[in-house]
Amino acid sequence: MKVDCLVRGRVVSPLKPLTLGQKAEVLRIEDGCVAIVGERIMDVGEWQTLKTLDAPTVLDFSGCVVTPGLIDPHTHALFAGNRSHELLLKLQGLGYKEIAKRGGGIRSTVKATRQASFEELVHTTLKRVHAFSKSGVTTVEIKTGYALNVEGEITLLQALKEVEKKSKVRVLKTLLSAHAIPEEYEGRAWDYVKHVVLKTIDYACLNSLAQFVDVFCEPGYFDTQQAKTILEYALSKGLKAKMHADEFEDSGGAKLAAELSLVSADHLESASSEGLSEMARRGVCAVVLPFTFHCSMLPPQKISKYAGLCVALGTDYNPNCTMDSLTSAMNYAVYEMGMQPIEALCAVTVNAARALALEDVGVLKSGYRADLAVFDVEDEVELVTRGGNSPLLFSMCNGRVVCPS
Chain positions contacting ligand NIG, by CB under 6 A: 76, 105-106, 109, 216, 244, 247, 292, 316, 318-320
d(CA 170, CA 140): 6
Closest C-alpha among 221, 218, 347 to residue 287 = 347
CB 405 within 8 A of CB 362: no
In whole angstroms, the minimum distance from the beta carbon of 341 to Fe ion comes to: 25
Q: Segment near Fe ion (CB under 5 A), from 17-25, 34-42, 225-233, 311-319?
A: 311-319
Buried-state track 81-99, b at ≥16 Cβ within 10 A, e below 16: bebeebeeebeeebebeeb
- Exposed (0-12), middle (13-18) or buried (19+): which is 9, by Cβ within 10 Å? buried
Question: CB under 5 to 8 A by kind: which of Fe ion, ligand NIG, none does 394 bind?
Answer: none
Can you list the pairs that 276-283 forms with residues at least 24 positions away whose Cβ atoms lie under 8 Å?
Answer: 276/305, 276/306, 276/308, 276/309, 277/308, 278/254, 279/254, 279/309, 280/19, 280/308, 280/309, 282/258, 283/310
In whole angstroms, the minimum distance from the beta carbon of 100 to ligand NIG comes to: 8
In whole angstroms, the minimum distance from the beta carbon of 292 to ligand NIG comes to: 5
The reply to whether 218 sits near Fe ion by the rule CB under 5 A is no
Footprint of Fe ion on 316-335 (CB under 5 A)? 316
In whole angstroms, the minimum distance from the beta carbon of 110 to ligand NIG comes to: 9
**DSSP assignment letter at 319:** T
* Amino acid at the residue 331: N
Q: Which is nearer to ligand NIG, 277 or 322 (CB)?
A: 322
Tally DSSP H helices, then E strands, for the chain.
Answer: 16, 15
Q: Which is nearer to ligand NIG, 174 or 292 (CB)?
A: 292
Question: CB under 5 to 8 A by kind: which of ligand NIG, Fe ion, none does 247 bind?
Answer: ligand NIG
Using CB under 5 A, count the residues that bind Fe ion: 1
Question: CB under 5 to 8 A by kind: which of Fe ion, ligand NIG, none does 380 bind?
Answer: none
In whole angstroms, the minimum distance from the beta carbon of 267 to Fe ion comes to: 6
* Amino acid at the residue 390: S
Question: CB under 5 to 8 A by kind: which of Fe ion, ligand NIG, none does 253 bind?
Answer: none
In whole angstroms, the minimum distance from the beta carbon of 397 to ligand NIG comes to: 25
Q: Which is nearer to ligand NIG, 106 or 276 (CB)?
A: 106
In whole angstroms, the minimum distance from the beta carbon of 244 to ligand NIG comes to: 5
In whole angstroms, the minimum distance from the beta carbon of 202 to Fe ion comes to: 24
Q: Enumerate residues 6+ apart whose C-beta is below 8 A from 8.
A: 31, 32, 33, 47, 51, 58, 59, 60, 61, 62
**x/- map, 264-303, Fe ion, by CB under 5 A:** ----------------------------------------
DSSP string, 348-384: TTHHHHHHTT-SS-SS--TTSB--EEEESSSSHHHHH
Question: CB under 5 to 8 A by kind: which of Fe ion, ligand NIG, none does 319 bind?
Answer: ligand NIG
Q: Segment near Fe ion (CB under 5 A), from 26-34, 123-131, 313-321, 396-404?
A: 313-321
CB 248 within 8 A of CB 97: yes
* Amino acid at the residue 115: Q
- The alpha carbons of the chain give a radius of gyration, in whole angstroms, of 21
The reply to whether 162 sits near Fe ion by the rule CB under 5 A is no
Q: Segment near Fe ion (CB under 5 A), from 54-62, 119-127, 273-281, 308-316?
A: 308-316
Q: Which is nearer to ligand NIG, 333 or 350 (CB)?
A: 333
CB 106 within 8 A of CB 146: yes
Closest C-alpha among 118, 121, 140, 119 to residue 131 = 140
Q: Which is nearer to ligand NIG, 29 or 100 (CB)?
A: 100
Residue nearest ligand NIG, CB atom distance: 320
* Amino acid at the residue 67: T
In whole angstroms, the minimum distance from the beta carbon of 221 to Fe ion comes to: 11
Closest C-alpha among 39, 52, 50 to residue 7 = 50
Q: Which residues bind Fe ion (CB under 5 A)?
A: 316
